[in-house]
Amino acid sequence: MLFPILILLINQASKMNAEDGVMEELATEKEAEESHRQDSVNLLTFILLLTLTILTIWLFKHRRVRFLHETGLAMIYGLLVGVILRYGIPATSYHNKTPPSCCLEEGPVSTLLLNVSGKFFEYTLKGEINSREIHNVEQNDMLRKVTFDPEVFFNILLPPIIFHAGYSLRKRHFFRNLGSIITYAFLGTAISCFVIGNLMYGVVKLMQFIGQLTNKFYYTDCLFFGAIVSATDPVTVLAIFNELHADVDLYALLFGESVMNDAVAIVLSSSIVAYQPAGASTHTFDATAFFKSVGVFLGIFSGSFAMGAVTGVVTFTKLHCFPLLETALFFLMSWSTFLLAEACGFTGVVAVLFCGITQAHYTYNNLSEESTKRTKQLFEVLHFLAENFIFSYMGLALFTFQNHIFSPIFIAGAFLAIFIGRAANIYPLSFLLNLGRRNKIRGNLQHMMMFAGLRGAMAFALAIRDTATYARQMTFTTTLLIVFFTVWVFGGGTTPMLSWLHIRALVDPHDGQVSKTKQESAWLFRLWYTFDHNYLKPMLTHSGPPLTTTLPSCCGPLARCFTSPQAYENHEQLRDDDSDLILNDGDLALTYDDTAITAKGTSSGGADAAGAGWGVNGKRSSTTSEEALEREMDQEFLSRSTRLIFPIEDHA
Amino acid sequence: MLFPILILLINQASKMNAEDGVMEELATEKEAEESHRQDSVNLLTFILLLTLTILTIWLFKHRRVRFLHETGLAMIYGLLVGVILRYGIPATSYHNKTPPSCCLEEGPVSTLLLNVSGKFFEYTLKGEINSREIHNVEQNDMLRKVTFDPEVFFNILLPPIIFHAGYSLRKRHFFRNLGSIITYAFLGTAISCFVIGNLMYGVVKLMQFIGQLTNKFYYTDCLFFGAIVSATDPVTVLAIFNELHADVDLYALLFGESVMNDAVAIVLSSSIVAYQPAGASTHTFDATAFFKSVGVFLGIFSGSFAMGAVTGVVTFTKLHCFPLLETALFFLMSWSTFLLAEACGFTGVVAVLFCGITQAHYTYNNLSEESTKRTKQLFEVLHFLAENFIFSYMGLALFTFQNHIFSPIFIAGAFLAIFIGRAANIYPLSFLLNLGRRNKIRGNLQHMMMFAGLRGAMAFALAIRDTATYARQMTFTTTLLIVFFTVWVFGGGTTPMLSWLHIRALVDPHDGQVSKTKQESAWLFRLWYTFDHNYLKPMLTHSGPPLTTTLPSCCGPLARCFTSPQAYENHEQLRDDDSDLILNDGDLALTYDDTAITAKGTSSGGADAAGAGWGVNGKRSSTTSEEALEREMDQEFLSRSTRLIFPIEDHA
Whether B542 maps to a domain, the answer reads yes
Contact A100 B110 (CB under 8 A): no
Candidates B13, B14, B57; nearest CB to A325: B57
Nearest to A40 among B24, B51, B343 (CB): B343
Query: Residues A146-156: what's their mean pLDDT?
Result: 74
Residue numbers of B between 35 and 94 with CB closer than 8 Å to A = 36-37, 40-41, 43-44, 47-48, 50-51, 54-55, 57-58, 61-62
Q: Is the pLDDT of residue B260 over 50?
A: yes
Whether residues B268 and B416 fall in one domain: yes
Q: Are residues B261 and B293 in the same domain?
A: yes
> Mean of the pLDDT values across residues A49-61?
84
Percent of chain B at pLDDT exceeding 70: 62
Based on the domain organization, do B359 and B416 belong to the same domain?
yes
Across the interface, whether the CB atoms of A127 and B343 are under 8 A apart is answered: no
What is the count of residue pairs from A and B with beta carbons less than 8 Å apart?
A: 373
Q: Which of the four pLDDT bands, split at 50, 70 and 90, describes residue A288?
A: confident
**What Rg do the C-alpha atoms of chain A give, in angstroms?**
27
**Rounded average pLDDT over A413-434:** 92
pTM above 0.80, yes or no: no
Q: Report if residue A3 sits inside a domain.
A: no
Q: Which of residues 362-391 of B touch A (CB under 8 A)?
A: 374, 377-378, 380-381, 384-385
Same domain, B299 and B197: yes
pLDDT value of position B601: 36
- Least CB–CB distance from A128: residue in B9, B37, B121: B121
Burial class (CB within 10 angstroms; exposed 0-12, middle 13-18, buried 19+) of B440 = middle
Cross-chain Cβ contact A155/B123 below 8 Å: no
A 128-157 residues inside an 8 A Cβ radius of B: 128-131, 134, 137-138, 149-152, 154-156
pLDDT reading at A569 higher than 50: yes
For residue A412, the domain's CATH number is 1.20.1530.20
Do A540 and A422 share a domain, yes or no? no
Measured between CA atoms, the residue of chain B closest to residue A3 is B3
How far is CA B552 from each of CA B172, B528, B537, rounded to the nearest angstrom? 28, 18, 17
Over range B74-87, report the average pLDDT: 86
Residue B103 placed within a domain? no
pLDDT at B540: 66
Confidence of residue A322 (pLDDT cuts 50, 70, 90): confident
Whether residue A534 is found in the same domain as residue A448: no
What residues of B are in contact with residue A168 (Cβ under 8 Å)? none
Nearest CB partner across the interface for A100, out of B36, B37, B109: B109
Question: What confidence tens digit (pLDDT) does each residue in B137-171 have?
Answer: 544 556 666 677 777 777 788 888 888 888 887 66
Residue B410 resides in a domain = yes
Q: Which structural domain range is residue A528 located in?
A: 523-639
Q: Regarding predicted confidence, which is higher, B243 or B82?
A: B82
Q: How far is A226 from chain B (nearest CA, A)?
A: 19
Note the pLDDT tens digit of each residue in B513-524: 334 444 445 566
Q: In angstroms, what CA-CA distances link A576 with A569, A571, A641?
A: 14, 10, 15
Whether B446 is covered by a domain: the verdict is yes
Average pLDDT in the B188-217 region? Answer: 88
Given a contact cutoff of 8 angstroms between Cβ atoms, the answer to whether B113 and A99 are in contact is yes
Mean pLDDT calculated for residue range A198-209: 91
* B125 in contact with A, Cβ within 8 Å: yes
Cβ–Cβ of B112/A99 closer than 8 Å? yes
User: Among the ranges A231-235, A635-639, B540-544, B577-581, which has the highest mean pLDDT value?
Assistant: A231-235
Closest partner residue to A2 (CB to CB) among B43, B322, B335 is B335
Q: What residue of B is the nearest CA neighbor of A111?
A: B99
A487, A530: one domain: no
Neighbour count for residue A219 (Cβ, 10 Å): 20
DSSP classification of residue A316: -
Q: How far is A221 from chain B (nearest CA, A)?
A: 14
Domains held by chain B: number: 2
Quote ipTM for the complex. Answer: 0.71
Instruction: Judge whether B343 is closer than 8 Å to chain A, CB to CB.
Output: yes
Residue A153's pLDDT band (cuts 50, 70, 90): confident
Q: Which residue has the higher pLDDT, A438 or A82?
A: A82
Query: Are residues B416 and B562 both part of a single domain?
Result: no
Q: Would you call A112 and B134 a contact, using CB atoms and an 8 Å cutoff?
A: no
Distance CA B412, CA B419 (A): 11
pLDDT attached to residue A478:
94
Most confident of A7-11, A427-431, A500-504, B304-308: A427-431
How far A339 CA sits from the closest chain B CA (Å)? 5
Q: How far apart are CA A252 and CA A632, in angstroms?
A: 20
Mean pLDDT of A265-293: 69
Q: Using the 3D structure, point to which of B467, B501, B535 is the last residue of a domain.
A: B501
pLDDT band at B614 (very low <50, low <70, confident <90, very high): very low
Report B:249-288 residues touching A (Cβ under 8 A). 277
Summarize the confidence of residues B47-72 as an average pLDDT. Answer: 82
Q: Tell whether B600 and B471 lie within a shared domain.
A: no
Contact A123 B121 (CB under 8 A): no
| A112 vs B contacts (CB less than 8 Å) | 99-102, 112, 114, 123
**Cα dihedral B584→B585→B590→B595 (10° resolution):** 130
**Range in A42-56, A219-233, A408-422 with the lowest mean pLDDT:** A42-56
Residue B97: CB partners within 8 Å, gap ≥ 6? B138
Using a CB–CB cutoff of 8 Å, tell me whether B412 touches chain A: no
pLDDT above 70 as % of chain A: 63
Give yes or no for A502 touching B (CB within 8 A): no
Of the three residues B437, B468, B501, the one that is the final residue of a domain is B501
Comparison of pLDDT for B187 and A149, the residue scoring more: B187
A616 lies in a domain? yes
The beta strands (E) that lie in B190-347 are given as none
Mean pLDDT of A221-232: 91
* B598–A contact, CB cutoff 8 A: no
Q: Is residue A111 part of a domain?
A: no
pLDDT of B197 reads 93
Query: Is residue A555 one of the residues assigned to a domain?
Result: yes
Distance between start and end Cα atoms, chain A: 19
- The confidence score (pLDDT) of residue B363 equals 75
CB-based contact B104:B418 (threshold 8 Å):
no
User: Is residue A227 within 8 Å of residue A261, measured between CB atoms?
Assistant: no
Q: Which is more confidently placed, B466 or A112?
A: B466
pLDDT of residue A426: 92
pLDDT above 70 (res B613)? no
Answer yes or no: do A530 and A496 share one domain. Answer: no
A542 and A466 in one domain?
Answer: no
What is the per-residue pLDDT for A561?
61
Same domain, B495 and B528: no
Q: Is the dihedral of CA B625, B628, B630, B636 positive or negative?
A: negative
Q: Look at residue A631 in the predicted model and tell me its pLDDT.
A: 44
Report the b/e string of B593-608 with b at 16+ CB within 10 A.
Answer: eebbeebbeebbebbb
Q: Which of B6, B36, B137 sits opposite A7 (nearest CB)?
A: B6
Surface of A (167-226) touching B: CB under 8 A: none
Q: Give the pLDDT mean for A392-410.
A: 86
Judge whether residue B497 has pLDDT over 80. yes
**Which residue of A19, A114, A370, A464 to mutate against B (max B Cβ within 10 Å)?**
A114
Q: pLDDT tens for residues B87-102?
A: 876 655 444 455 666 7
pLDDT for the residue A110: 64
Distance from CA of A260 to the nearest CA of B (A): 24
What was the pLDDT predicted at A603? 38
Residue predicted with more confidence, A403 or B387: B387
Which residue blocks in A67-188 are alpha helix, DSSP H? 70-83, 141-145, 150-152, 158-167, 171-176, 178-182
Mean pLDDT, residues B178-190 taken together: 89
Which range has the top average pLDDT, A257-261, A318-322, B437-441?
Answer: A257-261
Confidence (pLDDT) at B200? 93
> In this complex, is the C-beta atom of B106 within 8 Å of any C-beta atom belonging to chain A?
yes
Which pLDDT score is estimated for B600?
36
A343–B40 CB contact, under 8 Å: yes
